[in-house]
Amino acid sequence: YAGGFAMGNYIGIYLEDRMALGTVVIRIITQKEAIELVEYLKSEGYGVTYIDAKGSMGPVKVVFTIIKRKDIQHVLGIIRKFNPLSFYTIEDIRSFRKGVFRKKARKSLIPRWEKKHQHKDKSHTK
């Protein structure tokens, strides 16, 4: 019984990580100016809130962004690019109301057909 319970938990955790369902908040704390990071995150379509705060070692900037779990690695890459020494936390969100979220790129169900007809349309306009 205990082995089945443990295996079920392990499989559940593994599947949750692989499926990347859900929403998280990333909280970034940095002593460095954060406006470039904030603007870049906004340009990528993420909603961002930032504030000035006081940390134990002096003034800091605190940046919050609520994202889909599947975007975590992308956002962490952006954070590392702008401030590799920043401190950040990632927390699960159970529920939320409204907000700014990155839009998915639309994928066509029939990309070959679209590509073929776009090419034909261009050749007829000359």
Per-residue pLDDT band at 126 (split at 50, 70, 90):
very low
Q: Rounded distance, CA 119 to CA 4, Å?
A: 57
Per-residue pLDDT band at 29 (split at 50, 70, 90):
very high
Residues contacting 66, CB < 8 A, separation 6+ = 23, 24, 25, 47, 93, 96, 99, 101
22-124 to CATH, choices 3.40.30.10, 3.30.70.120, 3.40.50.40, 3.40.50.2000: 3.30.70.120
Per DSSP, the three-state class of 25 is strand
- φ and ψ at residue 65, rounded to 5 degrees: -145, 135
Per DSSP, the three-state class of 19 is helix
Report, as an integer, the average pLDDT of 29-50: 94
More confident residue, 120 or 49: 49
